Structure 1
């Protein structure tokens, strides 16, 4: 059994129409279609996914994807998968393989080549309703089949371009042609979730050369392109389902097509440059130059220092099993050791960290440290480092603060430090990050520090965006913040020492920003949709924005895995009442207790 017969080839390439049908055999040999027929005959006894697996082994095709993204295909009910079409054949087979892992009832609308593969016929719609050769003739049965398949609760796949991608000279990229109107109309009509899939792959140079000469040559070369993908991993991204309500926001076919196409191609923006992702953790750290993390401090010494802080009245607040303390770095060396160790552990887990054995520097010795302690687990849960401006600035000036090591500060902006409390190196260890209390209590501690140091006007510091985010997502966050939270006046006087400069697709950037506008939650959702592993906008960045922070500039920090630091400040007078009020009530209650029982001590 052959996959491509001479008559089929002659018809597909129009050789029969120009009187060159007798050349079909020679052309098939030159284009290695005879080799494809041999492989097909060898594997024809296998059926379904087994055939696909054997085919990939035979032609040595590899494809990589993030395994957690398979869950983006709904486990029940109808949905439509849309994808770009860079390869024109093998990408359709990969799509069948991936979706069938979750939904064996999947079918795809395929081109002439896939329709010929009998062992996977159960996955193929028998008639392509968008095929130019059948429109107006036999397309109605194809459309009915597609509609019935979805109405019966099954998923349907399609390549809306209807043909393989080609090189577009104006864009300088390999892109689909404009997507077929019929495909978009079907999507709009069915009102089911749409899952975008992006393939990062390309055919050979000769394919694009022949395609630029004539579509017939493109069609003739397409089958043999199977062999050009050998040992060239094809990268696949699966987007989050686009719900019918969002699709309904686009009233006409043209705007909906543009939206769906952009959502599909945007998935490319977060792909790594190197082609290896399937069996690796998302954004693994480069291990070169990373030192082993220092051993923990003796727990007995740590507990002694916790008791010391209690005895010296250094406890700021407590809730349930949590206590918040403050101390100067040189007061408690063992606790400071644990802060530095756990900082490094926590930051490395998100692609940051100093890569040193412990994350401590010269500022830690005289900065105030705010810690959250779990008294039941006897565990340091998290910490903040605070530079009290009225203590540091008179002694050291700007050089006494950490932020000026990352940003150039003009005299017009020095008041942020002389009248400010610098916050930084914030962390909550992994085991407690999903709990709401730790970050809330650390911020409660910050408010206590503010009230104990009433001469300060500002909270300042850097919020980090890990280098594990894609360039596209980092740029989106920066541009969103600049549009909505930038202090343009102060930005004249504060400049990064190493600016972040990256070019991304302007059309895609404007698409996201126009959709998000000033809504941080919408941006958060876009980042989650784009980034592997359900990564979202950094928690601290969202926290600071909700505290009415203003951002001034962004700097790349090469000492911390090239993480991106945004310099921000909060006018203490602008802190939301819900941030200040719980602490005021707590202090008032403590004062009342002291008044009613003067002999009571904390």
Structure 2
């Protein structure tokens, strides 16, 4: 994918500067954080390794960067049901969200075998990954910026393929199973409004036991902040050399989401269908 040179940021060897990031959000907070904590955060976020990767691939944008990431992390991607993705039209790829990094990259990489016109709504933090901004649509979860919402709505209406994680958060262990949290109904509503069909998709992959155990402990202690999210980059590096299997189910017409169920019930129905996909092949 080619974007205009003048719109590309200059990626230096230290593109990600943790102190600057913290200072830009809260200058007083940076002063209060002990240096050993900063050092630990740099370690689990793999600042040096990420900066090295970004710099080595500073000229790779869009799909080229996806290829570079799959190669860098030596991820084996097995694809089942690729023929279920139409070559054109308005569709939603609706998927579970097991990993928090490589699942999205692998999903875009797989879909690109059929389509070039893909967009992925992501939170504004991921928009700081410059090489993938051509494929991303920003979502600001902490505000209701009218321009941001307008861009998002425009993309929902366009004749293109949208990739979407209805849970919004990475899967957690619940009742002994690794599964997404509640799926939001947004995709059901947008599917109805914009006549956008659904391609149910299941990504088979797991984070490390540490991630799930930390999430369980945090919840047990009554801590509301999702501190396990700090370890998601670390989970990406732990996943190096492993396998992701992606199942694409048969397309579901937007007309399926009729008035017999409420939107949230249809979201739950779709989630159950997605988790049952491996049994269909």
TM superposition score category, shorter chain reference: 0.7 to 0.9
Matches within 5 A, 1:5-44: 5-6=17-18, 7-8=20-21, 16=29, 19-20=32-33, 23-44=37-58
Query: 2:210 & 2:39 partners in 1: Cα distance?
Result: 20
List gaps (5 residues or longer) in structure 1.
271-529, 532-602
TM-score normalised to the size of structure 1?
0.40
C-alpha offsets along residues 85-119 of structure 1, whole Å, 9 cap, x if unaligned?
A: 01011111112112222221100012355322211
User: Would you say the 8 A contact 1:85–1:163 is kept in 2?
Assistant: yes
Query: 1:38 & 1:226 partners in 2: Cα distance?
Result: 15
Change (3 A) 1:16 1:195: farther
What is the root-mean-square deviation in Å for CA atoms of aligned residues?
2.6
Which of residues 205, 209, 219 is equivalent to 1:205? 209
Query: 1:194 & 1:3 partners in 2: Cα distance?
Result: 37
User: Would you say the 8 A contact 2:44–2:231 is kept in 1?
Assistant: no
Greater relative contact order (Cα < 8 A, sep 6+): 2
Residue in structure 2 matched with residue 128 of structure 1 by the alignment: 139
Does residue 159 in structure 1 map to residue 159 in structure 2? no
Change (3 A) 1:188 1:64: same
Does residue 71 in structure 1 map to residue 83 in structure 2? yes
Which of residues 69, 72, 97 is equivalent to 1:85? 97
SS at match of 2:202: strand
Residue in structure 2 matched with residue 55 of structure 1 by the alignment: 69
Query: 2:109 & 2:163 partners in 1: Cα distance?
Result: 12
Does residue 226 in structure 1 map to residue 244 in structure 2? no
Does residue 147 in structure 1 map to residue 153 in structure 2? yes
Residue in structure 2 matched with residue 582 of structure 1 by the alignment: none
SS at match of 2:112: helix
Q: By how many angstroms is 1:218 displaced?
A: 1.3
Matches within 5 A, 1:421-432: none
User: Would you say the 8 A contact 1:63–1:235 is kept in 2?
Assistant: yes
Query: 2:88 & 2:253 partners in 1: Cα distance?
Result: 15
Count residues with an aligned counterpart.
Answer: 260
C-alpha offsets along residues 311-345 of structure 1, whole Å, 9 cap, x if unaligned?
A: xxxxxxxxxxxxxxxxxxxxxxxxxxxxxxxxxxx
Residue in structure 1 matched with residue 179 of structure 2 by the alignment: 175
TM-score normalised to the size of structure 2?
0.82
User: Would you say the 8 A contact 1:47–1:119 is kept in 2?
Assistant: yes
Residue in structure 2 matched with residue 254 of structure 1 by the alignment: 264
Residue in structure 1 matched with residue 3 of structure 2 by the alignment: none
Query: 1:151 & 1:266 partners in 2: Cα distance?
Result: 29
Matches within 5 A, 1:493-532: 530-531=280-281
Q: By how many angstroms is 1:37 displaced?
A: 2.0
SS at match of 2:78: strand
List gaps (5 residues or longer) in structure 2.
1-10
Matches within 5 A, 1:304-453: none
User: Would you say the 8 A contact 2:73–2:241 is kept in 1?
Assistant: no
Q: By how many angstroms is 1:249 displaced?
A: 5.0
